[in-house]
Amino acid sequence: MSALPRDVIEHHIWANDRLLAFCETLTDDQLALTVPGTYGPVHKTLVHLGEAEQIYLSRIPDTGITRTLDDEELPLAPVSEIRAALRQTGEAWRAVIERWPDDHPIRYQTREGDREHRSVSFSVVQMLDHGSEHRNHIRTTVSTHGIEPPEIDGWTWDDVRRR
């Protein structure tokens, strides 16, 4: 297994957890903040982040991950529950790329009933892009409202892991 993709995924897992830890300190009013051009309120975006990871992994064989989060379901899951779910999916991604270090085809049925043929590699690409996009929606939202978000870039990740 090349260390390069492993580190890209480790950064993703760390960035999710760091942002969730930050969001656990926000009030309900702060979790309800949003700005135009983003997915929506902070809390809803966090649930969306978690549910997407669960959906991607549920389509890969033997991950043990099923969807428990739904951003259309009220009340929204507590932030602590989302953080716990993302820790589970983080472990699952580690296992997936160890098991299939150089890709593996997957087949699944969508919620609409369509049969899809994709791959582990595609799922990793989508998971990384999706996660980063929505983490940055949240960072933009809170900073617009005067709250300093945590640094979650690659340099910070490397500094933290080497401490």
Cα 79 → chain centroid: 13
| Shortest separation between residue 154's beta carbon and other proteins, angstroms | 3
Shortest spacing between CB 35 and other proteins, in angstroms = 7
Shortest separation between residue 92's beta carbon and other proteins, angstroms: 15
Are 124 and 9 spatial neighbours (Cβ–Cβ below 8 Å)? yes
Residue type (1 letter), 77 = A
Query: 130-139: buried (b, 16+ CB within 10 Å) or exposed (e) per residue?
Result: bbeebbebbb
Query: Judged by CB, which is closer to other proteins: 44, or 84?
Result: 44
- By beta-carbon proximity to other proteins, the closer residue of 6 and 87 is 6
Interface residues with other proteins (CB under 8 A) are 1-8, 11, 15, 35-40, 48, 97, 101-103, 118, 120-130, 132-133, 136-137, 139-144, 152-155, 157-158
Comparing CB distances to other proteins, the nearer of 67 and 118 is: 118
Say if CB 143 and CB 149 are below 8 A apart.
Answer: yes
Q: Which two tokens stand for residue 161?
A: 């892991």
Report DSSP letters for 23-37, one per residue: HTTS-HHHHT---TT
* Cβ-based nearer residue to other proteins, 54 or 141: 141
Closest distance to other proteins from the beta carbon of 46 (Å): 13
